[in-house]
């Protein structure tokens, strides 16, 4: 029996599995998802006060659609032999979908082991546990990009927050569009900014900055620098500066290997590559899963065609900004922006338990955000 193996149980892996199972129908084909955890972790919600709520049991999606879950981590991929090794077990595949996500690159600096982050569920829980036991706190958040801004504005409700950014401006990767509204929100929340500097040492009681100053702090939280999973290095092919495999319009890397989500860079539209985000990981997963099975069954493959790009950035008690397009021109801000951000955070939950609903969602590769 032919075997499709999906590596990763995040947004891309789960939707690959659903789309693969949908196109398989009642065909004679085995689909296995390999991921170490029992849950899909909703990473975009890990900055929230109760990060443990940001999970979905994988079995509630995979069991109803007949996808096996092997709870293991993949160490080796041999594309010539069509085999992978997961925790010492050798697994053969006919088509492989790599969807192993990304990880925060922690800096090498004195005291780095004292850094907190919100990249994984255990890390987010560690931060929350640490701050919960304090009566007011000072938090230094390093990086004023997407994750850094969401963490800083969320934490500002209960303590003093200092945002440290190496660039000379906040939100350097988000462009000019949303910046004025973000600045207003940071002012409103009394978040201090230290621009053009970074943290060079983490002491037990605070952070040393590259300008020589010291900020006494209860927690120093690193948010800068996501890289594709290092498994990408085992797949022959071109990579971008984030370590992502360059894939074609069908999300094929080469031969019998497809890639989706944060491990892959695909053309989102003319002139733009995908962004490491759920809004791209979900349709990439559906496209790659469909194509991996379609390729085996000899049915038509589909091209990756994401919905128009949007940005929804939570700003804590200051609301949120919701922007459309690659220039991120603000469509909604404040309470209205927050409403849309919450809508997005809800809609990224996959349907559970009911195969018909899961397949119905898997069959719609692109869902434009109706705002």
Ligand X SMILES: Cc1cc2nc3c(=O)[nH]c(=O)nc-3n(C[C@H](O)[C@H](O)[C@H](O)COP(=O)(O)OP(=O)(O)OC[C@H]3O[C@@H](n4cnc5c(N)ncnc54)[C@H](O)[C@@H]3O)c2cc1C
Which residues contact ligand X by CB under 6 A? 7-13, 34-37, 43-44, 46-47, 73-74, 99-102, 118-119, 146-147, 150, 229, 231, 261-262, 276-279, 281
Nearer to ligand X, 112 or 242 (CB): 242
SS3 per-residue string spanning 150-187 = HHHHHHCCCCEEEEEECCCCCCCCCCCCCHHHHHHHHH
Find all residues with CB under 8 Å of 111, minimum gap 6, and list them: 201, 202, 203, 204
CB of 246 to ligand X, least distance (A): 15
Nearer to ligand X, 45 or 208 (CB): 45
Nearer to ligand X, 51 or 208 (CB): 51
The partner residues of 264 in beta bridges, in order of sequence, read 245
Find all residues with CB under 8 Å of 13, minimum gap 6, and list them: 6, 7, 33, 35, 97, 99, 100, 260, 261, 285
Q: How far is CA 64 from CA 33, 36, 81, 113, 178, in A?
A: 14, 20, 31, 41, 42
Nearer to ligand X, 198 or 279 (CB): 279
CB of 130 to ligand X, least distance (A): 17
CB of 285 to ligand X, least distance (A): 7
Distance CA 321, CA 149 (A): 11
CB of 26 to ligand X, least distance (A): 27
Please report how the helices 355-362 and 11-24 are oriented relative to each other, as an axis angle in degrees rounded to 10. 100
CB of 235 to ligand X, least distance (A): 13
Nearer to ligand X, 73 or 307 (CB): 73
Nearer to ligand X, 217 or 263 (CB): 263
CB of 275 to ligand X, least distance (A): 8
Smallest Cα–Cα separation from 353: which of 62, 82, 36? 62
Q: Are 31 and 6 in contact (CB under 8 A)?
A: yes
The partner residues of 312 in beta bridges, in order of sequence, read 322
Distance CA 255, CA 334 (A): 48
Q: Which residue has the tokens 């985000």?
A: 277
Nearer to ligand X, 218 or 262 (CB): 262
Nearer to ligand X, 77 or 208 (CB): 77
Q: Are 32 and 301 in contact (CB under 8 A)?
A: no
Q: Are 169 and 149 in contact (CB under 8 A)?
A: no
CB of 73 to ligand X, least distance (A): 4
Q: Are 352 and 56 in contact (CB under 8 A)?
A: yes
CB of 39 to ligand X, least distance (A): 8
CB of 118 to ligand X, least distance (A): 5
Nearer to ligand X, 69 or 160 (CB): 69
Tally Cβ neighbours within 10 Å of residue 61: 26
């Amino acid at each position: 029996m032919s075997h499709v193996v999906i590596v990763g149980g995040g947004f891309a892996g789960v939707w690959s599995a659903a789309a693969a199972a949908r196109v398989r129908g009642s065909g004679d084909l085995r689909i296995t998802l390999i991921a170490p955890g029992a849950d899909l972790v909703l990473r975009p919600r890990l900055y929230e006060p109760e990060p443990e709520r940001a999970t979905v049991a994988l079995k509630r999606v995979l069991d109803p659609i007949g996808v096996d879950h092997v709870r293991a981590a993949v160490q080796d991929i041999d594309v010539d032999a069509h085999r992978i090794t997961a925790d010492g077990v050798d697994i053969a595949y006919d088509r492989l979908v790599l969807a192993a996500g990304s990880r925060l690159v922690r800096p090498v600096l004195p005291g780095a082991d004292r850094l907190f982050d919100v990249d994984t569920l255990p890390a987010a829980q560690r931060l929350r546990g640490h701050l919960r036991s304090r009566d007011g706190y000072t938090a230094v958040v390093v990086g004023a990009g997407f994750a850094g801004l969401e963490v800083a504005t969320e934490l500002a409700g209960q303590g003093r927050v200092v945002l440290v950014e190496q660039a000379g401006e906040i939100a350097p990767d988000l462009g000019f569009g949303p910046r004025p509204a973000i600045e207003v929100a940071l002012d409103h929340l009394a978040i201090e900014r230290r621009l053009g500097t970074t943290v060079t040492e983490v002491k037990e009681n605070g952070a040393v900055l590259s300008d020589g100053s010291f900020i006494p702090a209860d927690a120093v939280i690193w948010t800068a620098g996501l890289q594709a999973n290092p498994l990408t290095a085992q797949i022959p092919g071109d990579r971008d500066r984030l370590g992502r495999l360059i894939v074609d319009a069908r999300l094929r890397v080469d031969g019998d290997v497809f890639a989706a989500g944060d491990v892959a860079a695909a053309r989102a539209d003319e002139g733009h590559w995908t962004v490491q985000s759920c809004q791209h990981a979900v349709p990439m997963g559906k496209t790659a899963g469909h194509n991996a099975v379609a390729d085996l069954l000899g049915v038509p493959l589909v091209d990756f065609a994401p919905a128009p790009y949007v940005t929804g950035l939570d700003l804590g008690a200051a609301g949120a900004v919701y922007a459309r397009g690659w220039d991120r021109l603000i469509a909604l801000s404040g309470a209205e922006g927050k409403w849309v951000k919450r809508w997005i955070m809800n809609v990224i939950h996959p349907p559970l338990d009911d195969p018909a609903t899961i397949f119905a969602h898997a069959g719609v590769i692109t869902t434009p955000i109706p705002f």
